[in-house]
Amino acid sequence: MRWMAPPARSRDADRMTARLLPMHQKLRYAQGASRTQPELDGFVNYHFMTTPSGDVDVPKLMLEKGINPAAVISAGGLPRRPVIGIRSSPWKAGHETNPWHDKFDFDNGHVSYFGDHKPGTGGMIGATTGNRVLLDAWKLHSSGSMEMRRQAPPLLLFRSTTVPGDRGPVVKGHVEFCGVAVIQHLEEVEQVDVVTGVGFPNLRLDLVVLDLADNDDALDLRWIDDRRDPTMPLQSTERHAPRSWRTWVERGRPAIPGVRRRTPWASSPLEQRLQAQLDRAEILTAIDELSVDRSSGGAAPHKPLTLLWAIGRVSAGETRLVEWREFRASVGSLMQRYVPLAERVRPEYPFWYLRNDSVLWETVGLDGSPTATPRLHELDQRNPYGGLTEWATRRLEDPLTKARVIRTLLTRYLPDVDHAELLADVGLSGYESAAGDLAAISPVTVSLKRRSPVQIPLRNQVRAAGPAGGGRCRGRSRRATSSRSGRTGCRPTATRTRRRCCHRCR
C-alpha cells in the first residue's frame, strides 16, 4: 500500500496527537512488558511509548544492550535503519561486563560514549555487532551529502537510573531518556581493563545532543514511527522530526553549534548575551593566569604553543583529546621550530603540567599528581589522552571568544615569534588580528551623539573588537579633543575611510 500524505493540520491539533517523550523522563523497562499498558509499576511503560499507536505487530525497540539497532527496513527500494537505541549503565562502569566510562554533559549537549568491544573480545574493532552498526552510522552522519545525512539513523539516548522502592532503591529495570543525538566524532582508542590491566581496542564517540525546544524539550515519537514505516518516503519522515534534526540534515557539520542542546538559564536575549560575555571573561581570565615558567626571564612558550595547537585542532573539527604518541609527534615538531635554543624541547611538560590549569586541560588514562615529574617511559607505555576540557572547548565555539584567546596567547606569551607563520602551522590562519574570523561576527551597531545609529563596516570590525584585554579603541580617528582634565582622546567615527585608526589598535 502506497503512503499518502495526510491533510494539513494546525499546530495545536498536531500537538494534541503527538506522542511526546520529555527529556529526563524516567521509564519502566521490562523485556516482556505489555505494549498496550501505559504505566508499569507507577512509571511510564517504555514499550508502550515506543510502540506506534495501535500497531503491536511492529517489532519492539529493545534496550537489552548498550547499542541497540532497529532492524533495517526497505523503503522505496533503499535500505534504511530507522533508529539506534543507546543505553548507558553508569552503575556498571568499570565492571568486566561494562569496562567503559561514558560521560553525559546535558548543559552543553555533549555525550562521550564508548563502543561495545571488551577485553575478551577477539577480532578487529568492528567485530562486535554494536561497533559495526556505529561504524556504518558514522559513514552517514559524517557525510557531506544531504541525502545521506537524511538516511542516517538518529541515536536515542537512555541511561539506567535508580528509583526509590518499597524496600529501598531499585537499581535495575528503569531508564532515563537523555535525548536524541548525532555523531560528531568517532575514533579508535586503546582502553585498559582496570581489573587485569590488559589493553583492548574500542570506539569512542562524541555525540551532539540535539535541541528539542520546538517541542518544549520533548521528542515527538511519531518521527521514529515514520522512520520505521517502510511505505513512507524518506523525506516525508521528517514531518515530525525536531527542527534541529532538519537543520542538521540540511547543513551538516557547520550547523552543529546552532542545533546543540543548551540548558536554558536565560529567558531574554539580553541575559543570553550577558552569559556569553561572562563565559568569555572566564576563559580569558584563565588564559591571563596561565602558569608558565619564567625562570629564564621571559614566559616559557611550551604551554601557549600547546594551547594554540589544541585550538587549531578542535577548530578543524578534530577530537579535543589526542593520544600521547600523536601529541608528542605533532607538538614536538612545533616546539622544534618555535622554542628557543636555550630551552629543551620537552612536549611531555605541557602535556602533563597543563593539568595545573584544570579548567583548560585534562588528561585521561594516567593517574598521578599534576605536579609530579613526568615519566617518559610511563607516558609511552600507557599512551594516555590529553587535550582541552569540554568546558574550554564549548566556550571556544564562540568566534569572538576564540579570537581573543588566540590574541592573548600570542601577545602575552609569544611576542617574539612570527605570528602569521605560527598560526598557519597550527591551522589558525586569519587570526592575526583581534577579531579573527570576520565571517562569523555580525555587524556591530553603535549610536553616535546627534546622529542616527550606523553600522561599522565588516572590514573595520578587526579594529572595533580591540585588544584581548577589552581594548580602548573602537575604530576611532586620530583627531585629538581636549577634556577638562587636559587629556587627549579619540573622537568616534562611523567608518575608517574618513580617518586612519589610532595607533593603539595596532
**What's the confidence (pLDDT) of residue 433?**
55
207 and 248 together in one domain:
yes
Q: Are the C-beta atoms of residues 117 and 133 closer than 8 Å to each other?
A: no
Of 205, 184, 176, which Cα lies nearest the Cα of 87? 176
Give the range of the structural domain holding residue 484, as residue numbers without chain letter: 446-505
The reply to whether 437 falls in a domain is: no
Phi first, then psi, for residue 201 (nearest 5°) are -80, 155
Tell me, what's the pLDDT at 269? 62
Indicate if 40 and 143 belong to the same structural domain. Answer: yes
**What is the value of pTM for the model shown?**
0.55
Please tell me the distance from the alpha carbon of residue 80 to that of residue 42, in angstroms, as a whole number.
35
SS3 string, 49-116, reads HCCCCCCCCCCCCCCCCCEEECCCEEECCEEECCCEEEEECHHHCCECCECCCCEEECCCCEEEEECC
118: three-class secondary structure by DSSP = coil
Q: Are strands 103-105 and 218-220 parallel, antiparallel or unpaired?
A: unpaired
Place of cell 601557549: 304
Q: Rounded to whole angstroms, how far apart are CA atoms 156 and 44?
A: 17
CA 184 to chain centre: 8
Query: What per-residue confidence (pLDDT) applies to 17?
Result: 61
User: Checking phi first, is residue 181 left (phi over 0); if not, alpha (psi -120 to 50) or beta?
Assistant: beta
pLDDT tens string 222-268 = 999 999 999 999 999 999 999 999 999 998 988 888 899 987 543 45
On whether both 325 and 293 belong to a single domain, the answer is yes
Q: Among 115, 318, 111, which Cα is nearest to 207's?
A: 111
Same domain, 377 and 477: no
Return the SS3 of 153: coil
The set of cell numbers assigned to 172 is 535495575
Task: Look at residue 62 and tell me if it is in a domain.
Answer: yes
- 432 within a domain of the structure (yes/no): no
Give the separation between CA 127 and CA 70, rounded to whole angstroms.
19
Upper half-sphere CA count for residue 289 (Cβ side, 13 Å): 11
Residue 9 lies in a domain: no
The C-alpha atoms of residue 201 and residue 125 are separated, in whole angstroms, by 6
Rounded Cα distance between 472 and 360, Å, is: 27
Indicate whether 241 and 311 sit together in one domain. no
| CA separation for the pair 446, 269 (Å, rounded) | 18
In this structure, are 36 and 57 located in the same domain? yes
Collapsed DSSP state (helix, strand, coil) of residue 270: helix
Same domain, 67 and 38: yes
Say whether both 453 and 359 belong to one domain: no
Cβ count near 195 (within 10 Å): 11
Residues 331 and 401 reside in one and the same domain: yes
pLDDT (0 to 100) of residue 275: 66
Number of domains in the chain: 3
Determine the distance from the C-alpha atom of residue 453 to the mean position of all C-alpha atoms in its chain, rounded to a whole number.
Answer: 37
373 and 476 in a single domain? The answer is no
Burial class (CB in 10 A: 0-12, 13-18, 19+), 494: middle
Question: In terms of C-beta density within 10 A (0-12 exposed, 13-18 middle, 19 or more buried), how is residue 79 classed?
Answer: exposed
Cα 384 to Cα 404: distance, rounded to the nearest angstrom = 30
How far apart are the C-alpha atoms of 410 and 452, rounded to whole Å? 37
Considering the domain architecture, whether residues 251 and 295 belong to the same structural domain is answered as no
Residue type, 68: N
Domain holding 118: CATH number?
A: 2.30.280.20
Return the pLDDT at 3.
47
Please tell me whether residues 286 and 385 are part of one structural domain: yes
Cα four-point dihedral sign 262, 267, 271, 273: positive
Closest CA to 357 of 381, 326, 331, 389: 389
Residue 452 lies in a domain: yes
Ranges of residues in the chain with a pLDDT under 50 are 1-4, 6-13, 15-16, 91-99, 265-267, 369-371, 434-506
Domain boundary (395, 425, 455) is at 425
Q: Which three cell numbers stand for residue 376?
A: 617518559
